[in-house]
Amino acid sequence: MNDIKNMGKNSVHAYRCDVADREEVFRVAEKVKKEVGDVTILVNNAGIAFVKSFFNHSLDEIRRVIDVNVTAHYWTLKAFLPSMIEKNYGHIVALSSVAGLIGAPYGTVYCPTKFAVKAIMEAMSEELNELSNGKSSVKFTTVYPALVLTGLSKKPKIRFPRLMGGLLPRDVASSIIDAQRLNYKNKGIPSHWLSLSTILRHLPDEALRCILDFFDTGVYPED
């Protein structure tokens, strides 16, 4: 925030909010509306993970990941989407993941939440299109980044770094902005991931297993 203001961008506002807390989301949304105005671009980016085997996840960890990675989307959509529908103008951007395209070891909690983001966005977009008889101008963009070097995964496993190395947060942020401005419905980062995942899903199970074993990319457990 301070870095942005030091760049001379004074029309920047920051609000602290626990997106997993329904009442706090609604309270902050109302505060934003009063102080800034209606939100026209919503980026649902919040996500957490505990990189460990399913049996080593505590019940609280499972609940927390689902609350932040999935349920929070419903609260922010409830808070900000109605004004977009009313004005017939706005854009929802949500961060899924490559882990939301193909399940992986030590992602038995995280991966399903990212699959869920994809489903929420697809269903919401189609529902709004039907309710408006095809006249809705509210846009939806789902982004699927590969491994981003944010520290969320402390022990990445990458067999071919030049091909499948980690992405810098600044570069990913720039790609997300581009995807929104260009009105992509779905955007992989790098872009080849979406088409590659589609191809892989059409392969026989044994062929898919051999390819995944060869690339041997993922994360090491932290437990």
Backbone φ, ψ for residue 90 (5° rounding): 155, 170
- Tell me the one-letter amino acid at 40: T
Alpha helices (H) in the chain, listed in sequence order: 2-6, 22-35, 59-66, 72-87, 110-131, 161-164, 169-181, 192-201, 205-215
Contact 17, 72 (CB under 8 A): no
The dihedrals phi and psi of 186, each to the nearest 5 degrees, come to: -135, 140
Q: Which of 74, 106, 110, 144 is catalytic?
A: 110
15 counts as catalytic: no
Helix (H) or strand (E) holding 41: strand 41-44
Residues noted as catalytic: 110
